[in-house]
Amino acid sequence: MLARSAQLPVLDGVVDLPPGKIAAIATYLEMVQRPERPARPLPGRLERLSRDLARYRSLYGRIGEPWLWFSRAVMPDERLRGIIGDPAVEAWVLVVDGRDVGLAELDFRRPNECEISFFGLVPESCGIGLGPALMDEALRRSFARAPRVWLHTCTLDHPAAVPFYLKAGFRPFRRAIEVADDPRLTGHMPRHAAPMFPTL
């Protein structure tokens, strides 16, 4: 979720966070070969977003607010416009019955790799088979342009995220701690977002 990395001293035991901060453990996963299985049919259609920030932010919020996705919520419009408008970034929206229900954002800006920057479904579309079908399509598009695909998730995400990615064929290769200002206290997200992670 964070744009920069920092080396921390060796940590052990319990580490207190200052008031107003949140922390998450991030797991990075990769895939270097597309799974050899038939792709599941994708209900609905995919539409690529490159300019409509309001539509992007609305879908991002609907998917991520329950889990405190905040990196794009705090990002200024010009920076976000530069990312999703970059020809090397493909932000795909899954549309089913005229409604935006899923997001698969593929970032090819680094040579020979694709980062699935964001992947998710709105809550009411989870658990009905859309996730595996959208992932199959994301992997098809990713491996068409790069030999390595990777992503990361964290403890501020759906509890089924890591098992889902492992089942899709990803393998973990890195773990990190992410620390940031709580976006609910800075006004970037509603105070009621992600109630399982209370504000302090």
Identify the pLDDT of residue 4: 52
Q: What is the pLDDT of residues 123-165, one digit of tens each?
A: 999 888 899 999 999 999 999 999 999 999 999 999 999 999 9
Q: Domain 22-181 is of which CATH architecture?
A: 3-Layer(aba) Sandwich (3.40)
Identify the pLDDT of residue 92: 98
Identify the pLDDT of residue 1: 41
pTM of the model: 0.90
Under a CB-based contact definition with an 8 Å cutoff, are residues 102 and 121 in contact? yes
Spell 23-53 as b/e; 16+ CB within 10 A means b.
Answer: ebebbbbbbeebeeeeeeebbbebeebeeeb
pLDDT band at 121 (very low <50, low <70, confident <90, very high): very high
Give me the long-range contacts of 157-160 (CB less than 8 A, separation at least 24). Answer: 157/67, 157/69, 158/67, 158/120, 158/126
Task: Evaluate if residue 189 carries a pLDDT over 60.
Answer: yes
